[in-house]
Amino acid sequence: MQEITISDKTFERFISEKQIAQRVAELGQLISEDYKDKNPLFLVLLKGAYVFASDLVKHFLHPCSISFFRLSSYKGMASSGVLSFKDVFDEDIEGRNIVVLEDIVDTGHTLSGFLPALNKLNPKSVKVVSLLSKPDVLQGKVEIDYLGFEIPPAFVVGYGLDFDEQGRNFPEIYQLKK
């Protein structure tokens, strides 16, 4: 679909299913090479990263485990910067090679709150994978080790990303129409 409408907002197609699949496969291959003997623990940040994570891990054909966390710092279209853990860690982090899977890094508040909390649990290593990043609005420093696409600051939905809980189901990524 060229355009979708959610509430009263129109979004236009921005990254196609094919482009996403290609890039996710590339990231999966890179991570496979780097982690094939490391039995990583993929930590999926819910809800937004679930579609990305599900596709990405299918390219990782080595021992690994997968866990899920729900962090919410985003309401509507404005990032509040407030971080709250909805779930507790259900896997031992200590001594593990952690690969955090995120859908998008916007201001960076989510990760700059989450990563220090994670590091307190003494993982062996922590790396970050994000499908998208908006470098123009990033505040402070957040290191993304594996990045899918850099995008301009416009709001996006689809492929797991939502606008007020709508739009996660679309297989492509759409950008708010000006």
Contact between 161 and ligand IMP by CB under 6 A: the answer reads: yes
Whether 136 is catalytic is no
Q: How far apart are CA 122 and CA 68, in angstroms?
A: 18
One of 50, 68, 149, 155 touching ligand IMP (CB under 6 A): 155
Nearer CB in complex with ligand IMP: 149/155:
155
Asked whether position 101 contacts ligand IMP by CB under 6 A, the answer is no
Q: How far is the CB of 114 from ligand IMP (least distance, A)?
A: 9
> Is the separation of the CB atoms in 28 and 36 below 8 Å?
no
Tell me which residue of 63, 44, 64, 52 sits closest to 27, measured CA to CA: 52
Gap between the Cα atoms of 175 and 6, Å rounded? 12
Site for ligand IMP in 41-100 (CB under 6 A): 48, 73-74, 79
User: CB 86 → ligand IMP: shortest distance, Å?
Assistant: 13
109 binds ligand IMP (CB under 6 A): yes
Distance in angstroms (rounded) separating the CA atoms of residues 114 and 81? 11
Residue 100 to residues 4, 43, 128, 167, Cα–Cα distance (Å): 30, 5, 5, 23
Residues that bind ligand IMP (CB under 6 A): 48, 73-74, 79, 102-110, 155-157, 161-162
Q: Which residues are catalytic?
A: 106
